[in-house]
């Protein structure tokens, strides 16, 4: 959690200068990569600490970055509805995520947590890649 807290300012600063979908995708990909060394067991304590800090930093940055991205694409009259949807989605993920991760850990042991996290991060990066391409194609269409 400390790494996530310390990462808020630099990532917030960066999100004002880089396209947010690209930054979220980069965070998700880096998080997935940080999970990969932890799939091997046993893992040294220092590797667990370093990868855990990177995962925590990037994982705790995803919600604020997603919230900023969502808020920049809607009108001010829709902000309350967006906040409700984001909180509902966060709550749903907070409920289902541990259940699915626990299932993965029941089958694979402690590596199941990191495999589940890497798969979710990879899925997020892939969905952002698909969505960004669709948005770019939609922006290039001229309406007459």
Q: What is the percent of the chain with per-residue pLDDT over 90, rounded to a whole number? A: 63
Domains along the chain with CATH numbers: 2-139 (1.20.1250.20)
CA angle 101, 38, 57 (to 5 degrees): 75
Query: In this structure, what token pair is assigned to residue 20?
Result: 């947010």
User: Which 8-state DSSP code applies to residue 143?
Assistant: P
Q: What distance lies between CA 13 and its chain's CA centroid? A: 17
Query: In this structure, what token pair is assigned to residue 119?
Result: 């798969």
C-alpha 22/C-alpha 25 separation (Å) is 5
Give tens-digit pLDDT for 44-99. 999 999 999 999 999 999 999 999 988 888 888 999 999 999 999 999 999 999 99
104 C-beta neighbours (distance < 10 Å), count: 18
| pTM, to two decimals | 0.82
Phi first, then psi: give them for residue 50, nearest 5 degrees.
-65, -50
């Amino acid at each position: 959690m400390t790494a996530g807290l310390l990462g808020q300012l630099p990532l917030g600063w960066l999100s004002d200068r880089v396209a947010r979908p690209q930054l979220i995708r980069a965070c998700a990909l880096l998080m997935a990569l940080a999970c990969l060394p932890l799939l091997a067991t046993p893992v040294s304590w220092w590797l667990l600490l370093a990868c855990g800090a990177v995962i925590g930093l990037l994982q705790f940055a995803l919600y604020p970055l997603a919230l900023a991205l969502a808020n920049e694409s809607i009108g001010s009259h829709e902000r309350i509805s967006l906040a409700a949807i984001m909180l509902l989605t966060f709550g749903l993920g907070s409920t289902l995520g541990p259940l699915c991760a626990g299932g993965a850990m029941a089958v694979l042991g402690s590596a199941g947590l990191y495999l589940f996290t890497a798969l979710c991060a990879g899925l997020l990066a892939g969905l952002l890649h698909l969505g960004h391409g669709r948005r770019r194609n939609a922006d290039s269409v001229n309406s007459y």
